[in-house]
Amino acid sequence: TRRITVRDIAAAKERGEKWPMLTAYDAMTASVFDQAGIPVLLVGDSAGNCHLGYESTVPVTLDEMIMLSSAVVRGTSRSLIVGDLPFGSYQEGPTQALRSATRLVKEAGVTAVKLEGGERSAHQIELLVQAGIPVMAHIGLTPQSVNAFGGYPVQGRGEEAAQQLRRDAKAVQDAGAFAVVLELVPAELAAEVTTALHVPTVGIGAGSGCDAQVLVWTDMAGMTDGRMPKFVRQYAALRESLGDAAKAFADDVVGGAYPAEEHSFH
């Protein structure tokens, strides 16, 4: 078996095939998704909230992304691995973006990188693509700008905002992105953009008209603590199962039921 490539991703759009993407932050979880046949895994900077205990993605560093991404690469053999460029690692311009992306590719071994922004990030995308680094773009709600948005509102509502989203989608495609994440975008607009583009759209909170769908794995598997966004479907209740397992282990230890004779050496 070989890894999925960006050519496979392009071919899927031509055939009209939908595909799933999940986030992963460590080798153990990534190997589960790799063996489950998830074609694309994103080492998202959502690791900030989901894995590292930060309030948002803003504090995540490039060194942290390299550490997490290299683990995901080591844990997989088939999935295409995309690593997020964190806040502050590409906003200065194309040269900084290339320096950061090169580290993710060389030190972590990811195949592609993702960065946020449409028109505003087009020059960065162009230089990375010229350098031979596949880029996944990310438009609509871009969580690294949470402080500017004042939260995580749905994007592209109203004609002016819709026009901006259309321009952003066109800009990242023209810059050479191989796919584009649409986050928190009205379903009708996301479907329209998906039809207009020849590169695939990856929706999250963007309706069923996208070419692919991504979820944060801890949300998908019911591992996240607290309220879920409206767009999430939980496919397991891992947080409850794992908590129950920990409590049962604790009870057995305190009550003397574990270890039993069969767990002992003589």
Task: Choose which of 39, 44, 48, 200 interacts with Na ion (CB under 5 A).
Answer: 44
Q: By CB under 6 A, which span of 27-35, 38-46, 156-164, 246-254 interacts with ligand KIV?
A: 38-46
* Contacted by 211, from ligand KIV, Na ion, none: CB < 5 to 8 Å by type: none
Give, as one character, the DSSP assignment of residue 263.
Answer: G
Binding of ligand KIV by 190 (CB under 6 A): no
What residue 13 binds from ligand KIV, Na ion, none (CB within 5 to 8 A, per partner kind)?
none
Maximum C-alpha span of the chain? 76
Q: Which helix (H) or strand (E) holds 116?
A: strand 112-116
Q: Which of 72, 104, 181, 182 touches ligand KIV (CB under 6 A)? A: 181
- Taken as a whole, the chain contains a residue count of 266
User: Residue 240's CB: how many other CB atoms inside 10 A?
Assistant: 11
Q: Count residues near ligand KIV (CB under 6 A).
A: 11
Which one of Na ion, ligand KIV, none interacts with residue 214, CB within 5 to 8 A by kind?
ligand KIV
Per CB under 6 A, the list member of 9, 40, 65, 84 interacting with ligand KIV is: 84
Q: 119, 183, 188, 261: which one is catalytic?
A: 183
CA within 13 Å, CB half, 58: 8
Tell me if 29 contacts ligand KIV by CB under 6 A.
Answer: no
Q: How many CA atoms lie within 13 A of 128 on its CB side?
A: 34
Nearest residue to 90 via CA among 126, 54, 52 = 126
Binding track, positions 57-96, relative to Na ion; x by CB under 5 A? ---------------------------x------------
Indicate if 183 belongs to the active site. Answer: yes
Work out how close the CB of 42 gets to ligand KIV at its nearest, in angstroms, rounded to a whole number: 6
Contact between 184 and 152 (Cβ < 8 Å): yes
Amino acid present at 171? A
Residue span binding ligand KIV (CB under 6 A) among the ranges 26-34, 43-51, 146-154, 159-167: 43-51
Helix (H) or strand (E) holding 171: helix 159-175
> Identity (one letter) of the amino acid at 265?
F
Distance in Å, CB of 209 to Na ion, minimum: 22
Compute the radius of gyration of the chain from its Cα atoms. Answer: 20
Q: Measured between alpha carbons, how far is residue 117 from residues 23, 24, 28, 114 in Å?
A: 19, 22, 31, 10
Picking from 40, 196, 165, the residue whose alpha carbon sits closest to that of residue 112 is 40
Closest approach of ligand KIV to the CB of residue 160, in Å = 24
Instruction: Give the binding site for ligand KIV (CB under 6 A).
Output: 23, 42, 44-46, 84, 138, 181, 204, 214, 216
Q: Which residues are annotated as a binding site for Mg(2+)?
A: 45, 84, 116
Q: Which residues are annotated as a binding site?
A: 45-46, 84, 114, 116
Enzyme catalytic residues: 183
Instruction: Give the binding site for Na ion (CB under 5 A).
Output: 44-45, 84
